[in-house]
Amino acid sequence: MLIKTVHELSELLDQFSQALFKRIDNELVPSFYLVLFDISNEHINMSFSDDMVSIPTEVESIEHLNQRKEFLKDLMALHISKAFSDATTIFYSDFFVYNNSIFTYAFKFDRKILDSYYKITDDSSVQITSIIDAIIFEAIKYIDQCAVNFIESREITQKSIKDLLKDAGKALLGSIFEDESFPNPFDKFSKISSLSYEKAFSNGKILLFKPNFIESIIDSSHIKLLLTFEERIPLSSFRHIRKILELSKKDIYLLSDGEYIYSVIQFTEESYHLDKTRHYFIVEFNTYYSWQLNHNNNKLMQVTNEEVYIPKPKISYFNFSAEFKKVFPEVETKKILNLYKLVLEALKQVKGTILVISKNARSEAYRLRNQGFIINATFLNVSTIKSITSIDGAVLVDVEGFCHGIGVILDGVATEKGDPSRGARYNSAIRYVETIAHNQQYSDCLTVVISEDGDVDIISKYALEYNI
């Protein structure tokens, strides 16, 4: 496609960006900006959106200015990032020289929405921590290539969203192995998922580990080695791999470094007790031509018919915020965001949990002291929430984010609002909320119920359609 000006290129890239992120999540769509630098009258002029910043300089040419990229980054960080609120995250493309000016592009994302997507936080060696990070990385890579092609020939090669998402999926999977030269197993997994064995399609699981780490895996006290193949089996031996996938059921996995299958292993009871299984990457085959990459009991991506699909958060910030404000309309956004982050962290709890958010969490902790534990008011963060939700019972939290009670068994009278098809945790929360709603001595509460399968229910008197 022939492009005449930088602004025309910018419009096309903005349209592509909008279409890309709308396909993932309407709430995720970023603002897209062209940032321009030029030199005139001994000043560097930087323009973005409808703003312009001008600062004195001794730099005489655009070429010399382009050699000071760290300075340009600092300039953007100081003025562009400062122009936006702390609730945003900005990503930049590379810098390009054109017509005696320098241009780059900026993506501005709502940080609340970015944070709602699962990230790998317990493995510092993984460079790409989420499928969203991988998509942003690939989008910027594509924008950089378009800019280079525009400067060289005024033409760009359009890329489909499907292909970019697939590249992002490959980048995420490849980052596990920390070596760009390592053969990426993405296409092999897709091929294996397309094969049947005795007329049944794949439903097995492969536990991935980094090359050269096999001894530490096998020697681990929380993994039981069931069998080891005398000769490692290449993943490219598709029919063989499909056949031995039949060995992997429930907590039994094939052990692979992304290139070969070595063993069949099983997690021990101790591993679940210590929550050791959460630190591994697992490829799960679920139906014809479909597989998913999991980490920490969370789905990182789904691949179906070789197309990458991004799992949305179990609960979006906007849904949580809307329900929260019905009960606590006066609480400021910063505090709501902090509580939302606690909910996202609690979602990682394998056994499920209940968070009860209330203005009188302290008095409720004392009222229910014989069926739970009162603790000193403790401000919760993503580290502490993981620990306190590991025991059975509800967590009592005030709207400021302070915890007052843990392991609490909620009370409440029998109710017609219950659902016998749901678990005890859900119905306990229903009874509690209804009891609170009918007692004027108690303040309203918002109860977040997280089930063992990761489903989330937000329960308040408004959710129960009370007319009080």
Q: What is the pLDDT, as a whole number, of residue 424? A: 85
**Burial class of residue 201, CB neighbours in 10 A (0-12, 13-18, 19+):** middle
Residue 267 or 190, more confident: 190
Residue 109 or 466, more confident: 109
Confidence class for position 219, pLDDT limits 50, 70, 90: low
- Final residue before a domain boundary, out of 151, 175, 199: 175
**466 lies in some domain:** no
**10 lies in some domain:** yes
Q: Which domain holds residue 47?
A: 6-175
Q: Which residue has the tokens 């089930």?
A: 451
Q: What is the pLDDT, as a whole number, of residue 273? A: 42
CA-based nearest residue to 85, from 137, 31, 154: 31
Q: What is the pLDDT, as a whole number, of residue 467? A: 41
- Final residue before a domain boundary, out of 278, 309, 340: 309
Q: Looking at the 3D structure of the chain, how many domains does it have?
A: 3
CA–CA dist 306, 48 (Å, integer) = 38
354 lies in the same domain as 432: yes
**205 lies in some domain:** yes
**At 448, is the secondary structure helix, strand, or coil?**
strand
pLDDT digits (tens, 9 = 90+) for 255-304: 999 999 999 999 876 555 445 445 689 999 988 999 999 987 788 999 99
Q: What is the pLDDT, as a whole number, of residue 276? A: 46
158 lies in the same domain as 222: no
74 lies in the same domain as 126: yes
Q: What is the pLDDT, as a whole number, of residue 202? A: 75
**468 lies in some domain:** no
pLDDT digits (tens, 9 = 90+) for 145-162: 999 999 999 888 889 999
Least confident of 48-57, 365-374, 404-413: 48-57
CA–CA dist 455, 352 (Å, integer) = 9
CA-based nearest residue to 258, from 165, 180, 200, 311: 180
Q: What percent of the chain has pLDDT over 90?
A: 52
56 lies in the same domain as 166: yes
268 lies in the same domain as 327: no
CA–CA dist 394, 392 (Å, integer) = 7
CA–CA dist 304, 291 (Å, integer) = 7
333 lies in the same domain as 446: yes
102 lies in the same domain as 199: no
- Final residue before a domain boundary, out of 309, 339, 362: 309
**At 87, is the secondary structure helix, strand, or coil?**
coil
Cβ atoms of residues 23 and 96 within 8 Å: no
- Beta-carbon contacts of 187 under 8 Å, excluding residues fewer than 6 positions away, are 306
Residue 428 or 86, more confident: 428
Long-range contacts of 368-371 (CB under 8 A, 24+ apart): 368/396, 368/405, 368/408, 368/409, 368/410, 368/411, 369/405, 371/408, 371/409, 371/411
